[in-house]
Structure 1
Amino acid sequence: MRARALRHVAAATTAASLALLLTACGGEEKKTEDTGKADASASAAAKPDVKALAAAELEKLVVAQADLKGYQVKQAEAEDRLNAGDVGADKPACEPLAEAVSGVAPGTPGASVKRKAVQVPSKDTVSSPDNALGALGVPATTVTLGSYAGQGAEQAFAALKTAGTECAGGFTLLASGEKTTIAKVSPETVTAGDEALGWTLVTQMEGRPFITNLVVFRKANNLAGFMTMSLTGKVKELPKPLIDAQAAKLR
């Protein structure tokens, strides 16, 4: 999973460097997750007045190119569009984290959409002695927006909160037949929406730590997720401009 994700970041960051010369344009994506009907029905019964937004409505609410500067925002590649059934973990409590870090809306969303947002590299970033990969080393973020019926969003958020605690010592992520060992999950401070959670996940690659940042916030019955990584294996900060832009569209 991690090797495949690195290939995707390489392609995305190459596009970002070209964005310095070309005008970037946002993409459109249509995607509906398999919802797990039994759980969704239970949530709706508990809170029948709350309905999940349709994918077409989420397309209007997910962060887009016009919403912020300094990023190239486009639709996710077809191979990035995993479903909940494609992702798991060796510990059941860690499955919500496994889903979120794989770019899957956790729990049982009625619909979800996804975007790729790559930070446009500055001259200082490209020429930095700490960044041997140049423009290919800039951070790339997978943005996922899901909408839930009933109390589904609250339940998914609560499961993530529990996972962040119970899986602090690490877990094995299973995605499309590939295994990735997460060695450590550390909390990060983040404020957005009605409630928000953030973590730094550390994976050992060739004996060196590879850092991934993950943020999820809830606004009403919607969950927005942000998974950030770089080919350098270092992510120094949360993608605050992206988080703020997405939060503004959900007010």
Structure 2
Amino acid sequence: MRRNTVRRTAVAASALSLALLVSACGSDKAADAKPEGKDKGKESAAAAPAGKALSQAELDKRALTESDLKDHKVGKATEADMASVKNVNADKAECKPVLDLMTLRPVGTPAASTALKIMSVPQKPAENASPEEKMKAAQAMFAGTITADVLGSYDDKGAADSLAKVRAAGTACAGGFSTNASGDLPKVTKVAPATFSGGDEAVSFTLSTELEGTAGTAHLVVVRKGSTLASFYAQSVMGKAELPKAVIDAQLAKLG
């Protein structure tokens, strides 16, 4: 049963084109944001200054590449990726903003958007490693955290409004929700507030999930920097994902 569950989960992640199980290279970068302290999401959309959206070209320049991250594989979501999740809906309409970010879709209607698929990749074992060491390395690669990094840039107060929608959805969907992609996406059984400090304002949640009877943990962090929202949904095919701090730090640093 466990083997079938792991296989089904891996297929689900692959279907969303989030599993990038290959080695990565690049340089490390840091950022000022730290996943600690209280959320900075207390300022309202009305209090946020109106902004001008970045153009698609400007936003694309701020998207992460493999040269920005050490030990990660970075890929841009393709048309096929987006088509595969186009008709995925939640059983509760109020949960749509959370589901959108889980499935590589931006919240609302940004003037420009881009979605990345990022996976942490452990170091390869030494050539003279024992079979046991090689097996452990393969298991670590399979269990790596996969992050959907979605950027959206909005005119006027669209970024603040969209972040407010995510915050409201997290509260309204505390008891969880299901989707019409049963078997391909986990059921969310709980959405709990978490802490994150970064950007102009931020909100974060820890998601308890379930797929074929196997419980898991995923993370959702959304940060506004000016007129741009950066969201990070982290999951693992083995169930328990790590908070993708390196990804978040690098992306916020590149947004400036």
The residue aligned with 2:39 is: none
Which secondary structure state, in structure 1, belongs to the residue aligned with residue 97 of structure 2? helix
Q: Please, what TM-score do these two structures have when normalized by structure 1?
A: 0.76
Shift of 1:232: 0.7
Count of residue correspondences: 224
The answer for unaligned runs of 5 or more in structure 2 is: 1-7, 28-44, 126-131
The residue aligned with 2:250 is: 245
Query: Whole-Å Cα distance in 2 between the matches of residues 197 and 128 of structure 1?
Result: 39
Identity of aligned residues (%): 39
Change (3 A) 1:89 1:57: same
Which secondary structure state, in structure 1, belongs to the residue aligned with residue 192 of structure 2? strand
Q: How does 1:204-243 map to 2 (within 5 A)?
A: 204-235=210-241, 237-243=242-248
Matched, 1:171 2:177: yes
CA contact (8 A) 1:194 1:218 kept: yes
The residue aligned with 1:7 is: 14
The residue aligned with 2:72 is: 71
Matched, 1:198 2:204: yes
CA contact (8 A) 1:192 1:244 kept: no
The answer for unaligned runs of 5 or more in structure 1 is: 26-42
CA contact (8 A) 1:87 1:176 kept: no
Matched, 1:155 2:161: yes
The residue aligned with 1:116 is: 117
User: Which amino acid letter does the alignment assign opposite residue 109 of structure 2?
Assistant: T
The CA deviation string for residues 70-100 of structure 1, in whole angstroms up to 9 with x for no partner, is 2122222433225996343222221111111
The residue aligned with 2:128 is: none
Q: Please, what TM-score do these two structures have when normalized by structure 2?
A: 0.74
The CA deviation string for residues 84-128 of structure 1, in whole angstroms up to 9 with x for no partner, is 96343222221111111111111121110111111121369x959
Q: How does 1:53-64 map to 2 (within 5 A)?
A: 53-64=54-65
The residue aligned with 2:148 is: 142
The CA deviation string for residues 170-194 of structure 1, in whole angstroms up to 9 with x for no partner, is 1123469977531111122112211
The residue aligned with 2:106 is: 105
Query: Whole-Å Cα distance in 1 between the matches of residues 134 and 204 of structure 2?
Result: 27
The CA deviation string for residues 146-201 of structure 1, in whole angstroms up to 9 with x for no partner, is 10111111111011111111111111234699775311111221122111112121
Shift of 1:13: 3.7
CA contact (8 A) 1:76 1:114 kept: yes
Query: Whole-Å Cα distance in 2 between the matches of residues 150 and 118 of structure 1?
Result: 33
Structure with higher strand content:
1
Which secondary structure state, in structure 1, belongs to the residue aligned with residue 156 of structure 2? coil
User: Which amino acid letter does the alignment assign opposite residue 225 of structure 2?
Assistant: K
User: Which amino acid letter does the alignment assign opposite residue 247 of structure 1?
Assistant: L
Shift of 1:134: 3.5
Change (3 A) 1:4 1:112: farther
Query: Whole-Å Cα distance in 1 between the matches of residues 191 and 67 of structure 2?
Result: 33
Which secondary structure state, in structure 2, belongs to the residue aligned with residue 88 of structure 1? coil
Query: Whole-Å Cα distance in 2 between the matches of residues 117 and 180 of structure 1?
Result: 19
Query: Whole-Å Cα distance in 1 between the matches of residues 138 and 71 of structure 2?
Result: 21
Higher alpha-carbon deviation: 52-61 or 4-13: 4-13
| Selected match of 1:183 from 189, 205, 215 | 189
Shift of 1:219: 0.6
